A = this chain, B = another copy of it.
């Protein structure tokens, strides 16, 4: 079945070493070169990457561990990472751990078995325990989207979540809103905590105290969760004039809930969503949203990893890149008249 180097050596009458050398960019006598090329073409030979990696101890592949493959936010980043790495001769092996810590842990071991040169991880497990095996083998780890406080030796790329939330809420405050709801994700998650923190910071710096009346809805980053939280906010009758929803899925859910309740944006309620510009454009009016620079996150992640590879084993200080998010104005926020 499988055709090996040996086959094409026999085929051409050359030695293993010579053929191998040619394949790895060496130079042969013209006649030999032609013979090798012909043999490769005719037999459909491809290098056995396993054998190669076994020898060279580098696989030219990086592992990517994500909570969910079926998620535009994530795939947009990964797509960019893949594009850049591929351009440098690296391939990626994706492990979807389905937001399950145990699977995430297994993924690390699995990838180490595949001899990946590095691991990119949007972590589910929030204490970073699962990454220990990689770190102890000096396999570079890069976290995206979520940092793990206290985890030494891992690079990270993420946005300034608190600043993004602060900006969104401040924007609402400047438009005259005073009773502002927020739908946040699970507080174990790094991004959730920081987005809530930004919300509070904005209120405080505008001289408003902690908001009561159920204005803070703790949810779970899912469509269904956003939907339910939005319904609760609507029913609470707390004088809320605006709501800030802090991830894509929940924004989706919140908009659906608003539609079903017959609430018109922004006449009856102002709303700022999060992520994904496609969605924000199909609603009428288009949604005002906080958008993350997904491509840039991917680009930075790939860049940092490639630089580490280039440096070889030499450790170097962990890098942490914080990117700004952007508030993109749509038409879902009303300006309240000053009283």
Residue from the set A50, A71, A137 with the largest chain B CB neighbour count within 10 Å:
A50
How many copies of this chain? 2
A136 touches B75 (CB 8 A): no
CB distance from A267 to the nearest CB of B (A): 13
- Report B-chain residues with C-beta under 8 Å of the C-beta of A76: 70
- Report B-chain residues with C-beta under 8 Å of the C-beta of A133: 44, 46
Report the bound CA distance from A164 to B196 in whole Å: 45
CB distance from A144 to the nearest CB of B (A): 15
Report the bound CA distance from A64 to B164 in whole Å: 36
A95-B91, A115-B48, A283-B283 are known contacts. Are A2 and B57 too (CB-CB below 8 A)?
Answer: yes
The one of B47, B53, B83 in contact with A96, judged by C-beta atoms closer than 8 angstroms, is: B83
> Which B residue's beta carbon lies closest to that of A95?
B91
A115 touches B49 (CB 8 A): yes
Report the bound CA distance from A103 to B53 in whole Å: 22
A69 within 8 A of B: yes
**Stretch of A165-173, A251-259, A320-328 contacting B (4+ beta carbons < 8 Å):** A251-259
Report the bound CA distance from A95 to B90 in whole Å: 11
- Report B-chain residues with C-beta under 8 Å of the C-beta of A103: 86
Task: Encode A109-135 as 1/0 by CB contact (under 8 A) with B.
Answer: 110111100000000000000001100
> Which B residue's beta carbon lies closest to that of A136?
B44
- Report B-chain residues with C-beta under 8 Å of the C-beta of A21: none
- Report B-chain residues with C-beta under 8 Å of the C-beta of A59: 50
- Report B-chain residues with C-beta under 8 Å of the C-beta of A256: 281-282
B284 touches A259 (CB 8 A): yes
* A244-294 contacts to B (CB < 8 Å): 252, 255-256, 259, 278-279, 281-284, 286
Task: Please classify how large the interface on chain A is, using the bins under 10, 10 to 19, 20 to 34, 35 or more.
Answer: 35 or more
B54 touches A48 (CB 8 A): yes
- Report B-chain residues with C-beta under 8 Å of the C-beta of A46: 109, 112-113, 133
CB distance from A150 to the nearest CB of B (A): 20
B283 touches A137 (CB 8 A): no
- Report B-chain residues with C-beta under 8 Å of the C-beta of A82: 69, 94, 96
A98 within 8 A of B: yes
CB distance from A308 to the nearest CB of B (A): 15
In addition to A91-B110, A282-B282, 18 A-B residue pairs with Cβ atoms within 8 Å of each other are: A2-B137, A44-B132, A44-B136, A47-B113, A48-B54, A49-B50, A49-B115, A50-B51, A50-B114, A68-B79, A69-B75, A75-B75, A83-B96, A86-B96, A91-B95, A252-B281, A255-B282, A259-B284
> Can you report 30 residue pairs joining A to B where beta carbons are below 8 Å apart?
A2-B57, A2-B137, A44-B136, A44-B137, A46-B112, A47-B113, A48-B113, A48-B115, A50-B51, A50-B59, A50-B115, A51-B54, A54-B54, A68-B79, A70-B75, A70-B79, A72-B72, A75-B75, A82-B96, A83-B96, A83-B98, A86-B96, A91-B110, A92-B94, A93-B94, A94-B94, A252-B278, A252-B282, A256-B281, A256-B282
Listed in ascending order, the chain A residues whose CB lies under 8 Å from chain B are 1-2, 44, 46-51, 53-54, 57, 59, 68-72, 75-76, 78-79, 82-83, 86, 91-96, 98, 103, 109-110, 112-115, 132-133, 136-138, 223, 252, 255-256, 259, 278-279, 281-284, 286
